[in-house]
Amino acid sequence: MKDELHWFDAPTSWNERRKRSSYHWDNKIDDNESPMIWLNKVSLKGDWSHELENAVYDQTTQTNLSKLLERNSAQESLSLGLNPRLKSYRCFTTASDQPLIHSMMEHLGIKSTHVKIHKQLPGDFNLLHMDTMSQDISHEINTDADYDLIDDESVDTVRVVIALNDWQWGHFFQLGNTMWHKWDAGDLVYWDWKNLPHSTANAGHIPRYAGIITGKPTAKFWELMNGKEKTKIIVN
Non-local (6+) Cβ contacts of 47 within 8 A are 100
- CATH of residue 48: 2.60.120.10
Inter-axis angle of helices 68-79 and 13-20, to 10 degrees?
100
**Rounded to an integer, what distance in angstroms lies between the CA atom of residue 44 and that of residue 186?**
4
Reduced to 3 states (helix: H, G, I; strand: E, B; else coil), residue 52 is helix
Q: Is the pLDDT of residue 193 over 70?
A: yes
Mean pLDDT of 167-175: 98
Lowest mean pLDDT among 36-40, 70-74, 99-103, 139-143: 139-143
- Does residue 66 lie within any of the structural domains? no
Closest residue by Cα to residue 222 from 149, 158, 142, 148: 158
With b meaning 16 or more CB within 10 Å and e meaning fewer, what string describes 157-194? bbbbbbbbbebeeebbbbbbbbebeebebbbbbbbbbb
* Tens digit of each residue's pLDDT (9 = 90 or more) over 51-87: 999 999 987 766 677 777 888 889 999 999 998 877 7
- Does residue 69 lie within any of the structural domains? no
Q: pLDDT value at position 40?
A: 93
Residue 172 structural domain: 41-55+89-234
- Does residue 84 lie within any of the structural domains? no
Q: pLDDT value at position 139?
A: 43
Angle at 119 between CA 115 and CA 123, to 5 degrees: 150
Q: Is the pLDDT of residue 138 over 60?
A: no
The count of structural domains within the chain is 1
Asked if 164 and 45 touch (Cβ cutoff 8 Å), the reply is no
User: Sorting pLDDT into bands at 50, 70 and 90, what band is 167?
Assistant: very high
* Tens digit of each residue's pLDDT (9 = 90 or more) over 7-59: 999 999 999 999 999 999 999 999 999 999 999 999 999 999 999 999 999 87
Q: Is the pLDDT of residue 232 over 60?
A: yes
- Does residue 187 lie within any of the structural domains? yes
